[in-house]
Amino acid sequence: MCHHSRMARILAVAPVLPPHVATQAQITAELAEGMTDDPAARAVMQRIHAASGIETRHLALPLAEYRGIEGFTATNALFADLALPLAERAVTAALAEAGLRVDEVDHLFFTTVTGLGAPSLDARLATSMGFRADLRRVPSFGLGCVAGAAGLARVADYLAGHPQGVALLVAVELCSLTLQWDDPSMANVVGTGIFGDGAAAVVMVGDAHPALAAAEPRARVVGSRSALYPESAEMIGWRIGESGFRLMLAAGVPALIDGHFAGAVDELLAEVGWSRAEVDDWIAHPGGPRVLESFSAALDLAPAALASSWAVLARAGNMSSAAVLHVLAEGGPRPAGTRAVLFALGPGVTAEIVALEWS
């Protein structure tokens, strides 16, 4: 429950982006040319992409190289090779900011929804970076966009039982590698307009860890809540098959937020003893403009309340699990006493909501 005496704290959040950056217009032009010969279809794609609120996206490969990649075997091999250095960059930056060494990490929660492997990428990461052999790894595939929020909550659950423990949450998403050139569906047209590549690492410690003796305020996880919505399995996610990952993205997601989301937030707030008016910072997964507008409407927020989410969306698009962690980093260190609610929505459809307080 939320009122557990032990609460995990966040020491560092490190968002990283791959090196290749393209404007939204450049990406649209390349995709429109490669996906369809129909001028009407191209016009629809251009209109939808232009309305996304996105200015630039970062890509694991140069834009011109995507057209030559064929099949899931090739894209999945590229994922392993390109995701690893991105994860290493994020972990290196997060540990440096936290003032901790690689061999001090006890627990690694790794998440992605854009590449598959067994051993999973976190095993390669542990080997390449020199983590201890007794590192406890939890690789997660399938939480998707919700996984940044879910990861914070699950790591906090782990640290409640390991008050001197050090844990890492690592999210790596190379959405660009899932591109399906031959899929004319509206889901793919919309998806190719919003998803970008990125990663993030978060260092968290149990409440008895010596690093907490330092004076600066740290965010602690004071509570979390999960919600799985019935009859929504086909709304967000992948159809996985021979060609790799084909996007499912239904128009009903905003309606789902309208109907259910505020209730789940209010239940968590009641558990931790806060009112909505006492929340200083709303840290929303930047799922896309319609999703952010629906979050604002459901929670009755002023447009400026989700400014950090809109900024991340404009700069980097929807990076699935990593995106909400970029939004968390966007606000920088908050003053002591700041209360925040961090949340995301993903395949299931599921919501994850986390209450944070800086102290």
pLDDT at 249: 86
* 326/340 Cα distance (integer angstroms): 15
Buried b (16+ CB within 10 A) or exposed e, 37-55: eeeeebeebbebbeebbbe
Q: Are strands 136-141 and 56-59 parallel, antiparallel or unpaired?
A: unpaired
pTM of the model: 0.96
Q: Which of 95, 121, 143, 145 is catalytic?
A: 145
Query: pLDDT (tens digit, 9 = 90+) per residue, 101-131?
Result: 999 999 999 999 999 999 999 999 999 999 9
Write down the pLDDT at residue 47. Answer: 93
Overall average pLDDT of the 77-83 stretch: 97
Helix (H, G, I), strand (E, B) or coil at 104: helix
Q: What is the pLDDT of residue 4?
A: 45
pLDDT digits (tens, 9 = 90+) for 172-227: 999 999 999 888 888 888 899 999 999 999 999 999 998 888 778 899 999 999 99
145 is catalytic: yes
Average per-residue pLDDT in the chain? 94
Digit-coded pLDDT (tens) for 231-245 = 888 888 888 988 889
Q: How confident is the model at residue 11 (pLDDT cuts 50, 70, 90)?
A: very high
